[in-house]
Amino acid sequence: MTKQPEAIYLKDYQVPAFLIDHTELRFELEASRTLVKARLTMRCNPDSHQKTRVLELQGDKALRLCRVSVNDQVLNEQDYKRHDQGLEISHVPDEFILETVVEIDPDQNTALEGLYRSDGIYCTQCEAEGFRRITFYLDRPDVMSIFSTTIEADKTAYPVMLSNGNPVAQGEADDGRHWITWEDPHPKPAYLFALVAGDLKRVEDQYTTSGGRDVALHIYAANKDLNKLDYAMQSLKNAMRWDEEVYGREYDLDIFMIVAVDFFNMGAMENKGLNVFNTSCVLASPDTTTDLGFQRVEGVVAHEYFHNWSGNRVTCRDWFQLSLKEGFTVFRDSEFSADLNSPTVKRVEDVTVLRTAQFAEDAGPMAHPILPASFIEIANFYTMTIYEKGAEVVRMIHTLLGADAFRQGSDLYFSRHDGQAVTTEDFVKAMEDASGRDLTQFRNWYHQAGTPVLAVSDEFDAASQTYRLTVAQSCPATPGQAIKAAYHIPVAIGLLDSEGEDLVLPNGKTTQVLELHDSEQTFEFTGITEKPVPSLLRGFSAPVKLHYPYTRDNLTFLMSHDSDGFNRWEAAQKLAVNILQALIEDFQHGRELVLDSQLGDAFKVVLANVDLDKAMVAKVLSLPSEAYISELSDVIDVDAIHTVRQFVRQQLALQLEAEFVASYQACTLEDIYSPDAASIARRSLRNVCLSYLMETGKQDFLELALKQFHEANNMTDSQAALYIVVHSGYQKAGEVILDQFYQRWSDEPLVVNQWLSVQASNPQAGVLTHVEALMNHEAFNMRNPNKVRSLIASFCAQNPVNFHAIDGSGYRFLADQIIVLNKLNPQIASRLVTPLTRWKRYSADRQGLMRKELQRITDSGDLSRDVFEVVSKSLA
């Protein structure tokens, strides 16, 4: 039996015993037999206590070692040890040149980590530990080196050959081959290395930094996609300007390149000077891309660009520090998107994702602090917690310090640590040093997992004109952490009088940040003449669950009066949740479902208010998702949640039919598509109205949806119509337009992905059989992560009623796919396990079925570290 993978611990961190000053690489690219020659200028690390002179290099077991030499002396097999994880060379001198030649097979690399070739394009993915699949190396982020990379390949098949930095030489070679050398002057860890070679075309632009550096901007894609790169280019330039203005950060090379590839495990990768992107995060055109897609392109292009400072110039000491770069960079990109579009809409979107997916993760078997103490496979820790909760933690520092002190803190962090590999502690320390604030207790956010719960109560004493808010905090146990210390939590609040006006608070403003330190704390407000309605956690100032006994009347009052846009939406959500939960209980007790008119009345007011941002109206009208209601449930009753939510949607549709029709018509369409915030808002409100109207079951509205499908001049509207018709159960009409859609777009893989996902997420009965059939469709390819996500992940994560079918068929289907993918692409396989990890949240019958499938995955044998970690932790 193979050895079980073991965990590694943050507490065991040691500085590297050796350093690599220069890394010279030479790639001779050839199908199934690529040679990688590495020449490393190495020396002992003066800061290391380990003086054994044993050099341990990481290297995947698939590397075929052809030659190794130290200072030109070729080593014999007795001079080194080759084992599964690398190479051990004893007795190396203080300073030396290590040369290796290895052979790898990029065509067989279906894990898409290291160097792989897909669709005729060679490309790399090295974060976190992919470089060791390319050559033997000190593959850890605190070893930073200057890279020079030569690539040689066939000239016709690979006219474009790229790597980090600047091209410094190129020439012709024998047999129709050519070569090029790239040099990157900035020392970097191996995870930021990149190589791309293929028949790619590019669009070009130019950017002059505020300091006067002219930067060439190149975005590469397949020839047919060249017309879909303008939006990414504009987003890149916007991001470059924004980072100068908001963070004082300029770009530091003469060239910045982005390459779009179709086979990619995640969204994109911030390799120095050469970002590699999943096509889904860079290609955008009105015909083929939805508004959501445009926003994603803008956000991801900015995110990867921002990493140039938060990640590349200042990098992570070790992978436990991942949130140092990811949390901070997500915070940066979300502020960027907020600035360029609508801050309230962006906040609502971010919080929605956080509260459904991250809160669920925090309550599950994989819960971990944003600074984890251990892991088995780092690839499993690119999580909602590291990214989104990490961003919330940075946001709280921003809230506590204020924008100016935060900027001084980030300036200090960047200047103090430029060119270094550092820790989250270094980040917090810089914030403390620049602001003079004590963040000692705040650090608990880095070390403790779980979502804190705030229970808020209040009292009003008319005689002394005093209003008291009492906040009690607690945090549930998570794996390995039974007891939690109190957090330092910024709670932004406002108080509304009976007219809906904000009271002036002790800070002289209408919003004040209360700082919670104790497990229970009371905040007193004097000079208050009537009991106010509190507006709590404005802007969602902390990633917590907050409970306050709002009445439904309080919530409708806040919906129309709260001056905080986020909390107006939040009041609507709370009202809807309150109503849905009561109906779920009725359903479970076999009582007749009756929706009182309160929610509809509140929605009517919102729909009638022409001054409101239409995007916010659309958000308010959208009921909390089944996933969010699930997250709020003690025991998730999939069928009750689905039935009740559908019932409420239908009742609202009947009650507000006229208003939905009026709003649909009022949201007029432009002749020319534009992805600006106002146009996106109109389209999203229109499509929310249409989706309600379909719930009435009236033929007229089916016709309206079909008309929209056929006449739409953009993908947002045609895809929305497709989704609405298919999901509303008009099977015949749905089949016809699904077919037309596929015929029209079969040459556009990203559109076909949406086509797969609309079908996979369809809640109508019997969809699993259809999904299974689609697995054999020409459009599906198990080796392409985008296809797997669109079909398998959409079914398992976006289709709760079918995935959780009580006969266990959904679970069985998923386990079958995981067992196959475990061999092909462990990272993708491991991500797919997520829905099964949540088994404890369901009723006993489903628990048993889900556990059985987790067990079956374990028993299938030969699990990758990725899948092993998630499955074993889930069963523990």
Binding residues vs ligand B3K (CB under 6 A): 127-128, 266, 268-270, 303-304, 307, 326, 379, 382
Q: Which is nearer to Zn ion, 192 or 854 (CB)?
A: 192
Q: How far is the CB of 127 from ligand B3K (least distance, A)?
A: 4
What single-letter amino acid sits at 635?
A: V
Between 113 and 152, CB nearer to ligand B3K: 113
- What is the C-alpha separation between 174 and 154, in angstroms, rounded? 9
Residue 113 — φ and ψ, nearest 5°? -130, 140
Q: In the complex with ligand B3K, which residue's Cβ is closer, 382 or 795?
A: 382
Q: How far is the CB of 381 from ligand B3K (least distance, A)?
A: 9
Q: Which stretch binds Zn ion (CB under 5 A): 319-327, 371-379, 563-571, 660-668?
A: 319-327
What span, in angstroms and rounded, lies between the C-alpha atoms of 664 and 690? 7
Q: Name which of ligand B3K, Zn ion, none residue 128 binds, using a CB cut-off of 5 to 8 Å depending on partner kind.
A: ligand B3K
Strand partners, 82: 87
Q: Which among 304, 349, 377, 392 is annotated as catalytic?
A: 304
The helix (run of H) or strand (run of E) holding residue 462 is none
The Cα 254–Cα 207 span in angstroms is: 10
Q: Is the CB of 379 or the CB of 652 nearer to ligand B3K?
A: 379
Least spacing, CB of residue 303 vs ligand B3K, in Å: 5
269 binds, among Zn ion, ligand B3K, none (CB under 5 to 8 A by kind): ligand B3K
Place of tokens 């926003």: 295
> Tell me, what amino acid is at 167?
P
Nearer to Zn ion, 271 or 864 (CB): 271
Alpha-carbon gap, residue 669 to 686, rounded angstroms: 10
- Between CA 808 and CA 854 the distance in angstroms is 12
User: Which residues touch 415 (CB under 8 Å, ≥6 apart)?
Assistant: none
Q: Return the half-sphere exposure (C-beta side, CA atoms, 13 A cut-off) of residue 599.
A: 27
Question: Which residue bears the tokens 């067990």?
Answer: 855
Question: Which CB sits closer to ligand B3K, 379 or 449?
Answer: 379
Which partner in Zn ion, ligand B3K, none is near 618 (CB below 5 to 8 A by kind)?
Answer: none
Residue 690 CB, nearest approach to ligand B3K (Å): 35
**Alpha-carbon distances, residue 438 vs 359, 370, 431 (angstroms):** 27, 20, 9
380: exposed, middle or buried (C-beta count within 10 Å: 0-12, 13-18, 19+)?
Answer: buried
**Binding footprint of Zn ion, residue count (CB under 5 A):** 2
- Residues with Cβ < 8 Å from 109, sequence gap 6 or more? 115, 116, 117, 133
With tokens 């609507």, the residue in question is 572
Q: Which is nearer to ligand B3K, 307 or 538 (CB)?
A: 307
Per DSSP, the residues of 492-531 read EEEEE-TTSPBPPPTTSSS-EEEEE-SSEEEEEEES--SP
Residue 488 interacting entry, from ligand B3K, Zn ion, none, C-beta within 5 to 8 Å by type: none
Q: Which is nearer to ligand B3K, 322 or 584 (CB)?
A: 322
Query: Min. distance of Cβ 198 from ligand B3K in angstroms?
Result: 21
Question: If you ran DSSP here, which 8-state letter would residue 625 be given?
Answer: P
- Cβ neighbours of 721 (radius 10 Å): 25
Residue 304 or 432: the one with the smaller Cβ distance to ligand B3K is 304
Stretch that binds Zn ion, among 173-181, 321-329, 430-438, 499-507 (CB under 5 A): 321-329
Which of ligand B3K, Zn ion, none lies near 832, with the C-beta cut-off 5 to 8 A by kind? none
Q: Which does 361 bind (CB under 5 to 8 A by kind): Zn ion, ligand B3K, none?
A: none
Q: Quote the least distance from Cβ 258 to ligand B3K, whole Å.
A: 13
Choose the contact partner of 127 out of Zn ion, ligand B3K, none; CB within 5 to 8 A by kind.
ligand B3K
- Least CB distance from residue 386 to Zn ion, whole Å? 10
CB of 278 to ligand B3K, least distance (A): 10
Instruction: Report what 333 binds from Zn ion, ligand B3K, none; CB cut-off 5-8 Å by kind.
Output: none
Both tokens of residue 585?
């209980």
Closest distance to Zn ion from the beta carbon of 267 (Å): 8
Question: 414 or 460, CB closer to Zn ion?
Answer: 414
**473 contacts 456 by C-beta, under 8 angstroms:** no
Binding mask 325-354 for Zn ion (x = CB under 5 A): -x--x-------------------------
- Nearest-approach distance from CB 304 to ligand B3K, in angstroms: 5
Rg of the chain in Å (alpha carbons): 28
Q: Of 507, 506, 502, whose CA–CA distance to 534 is shortest?
A: 502
Interacting partner of 379 out of ligand B3K, Zn ion, none (Cβ under 5 to 8 A depending on kind):
ligand B3K
How many helices (H) and strands (E) the chain has is answered by 31, 31
509: Cβ–Cβ under 8 A, 6 or more apart, which residues? none
Q: How far is the CB of 326 from Zn ion (least distance, A)?
A: 5
Residue type, 869: E
Residue 734 CA to residue 721 CA, distance in Å, equals 10
Neighbours of 505 (CB within 10 A): 16
**Between residues 191 and 587, which has the closer beta carbon with respect to Zn ion?**
191
Of 652, 656, 672, nearest in space to 664 by CA:
656
**Minimum CB distance to ligand B3K smaller for 114 or for 165:** 114
Give the DSSP per-residue string, 484-498: -PPP-EEEEEEEE-T
In angstroms, give the least distance from the CB of 872 to Zn ion: 27
- Binds 182, which of ligand B3K, Zn ion, none (CB < 5 to 8 A, cut-off by type)? none
Take residue 608 and report the two structure tokens written for it: 């009638």
Asked about 304 being catalytic, the answer comes back as yes
Query: What DSSP string describes 350-381?
Result: HHHHIIIIIHHHHTSTT---SS-SEES-GGGG
End-to-end CA distance of the chain: 21
Any bridge partners for residue 447, and if so which? none
What residues contact residue 380 under an 8 Å CB cut-off, 6+ apart?
Answer: 366, 830, 866, 869, 870
From residue 129, give the alpha-carbon distance in Å to each of 140, 190, 192, 193, 250. Answer: 8, 9, 10, 11, 28
**Which residue number places its CB atom closest to ligand B3K?**
127
Nearest Cα neighbor of 413 from 394, 399, 387, 390 is 394
Instruction: Answer whether 12's CB lies under 8 Å from 318's CB.
Output: no
Residue 384 or 638: which CB sits closer to ligand B3K? 384
In the complex, minimum distance from the CB of residue 177 to ligand B3K, in angstroms, rounded to a whole number: 32
Count Cβ atoms below 10 Å from residue 66 Cβ, excluding itself.
12
Which of ligand B3K, Zn ion, none does residue 382 bind to, with CB < 5 to 8 Å depending on kind?
ligand B3K
- Residues annotated catalytic, as ranges: 304
Q: Which residues bind Zn ion (CB under 5 A)?
A: 326, 329
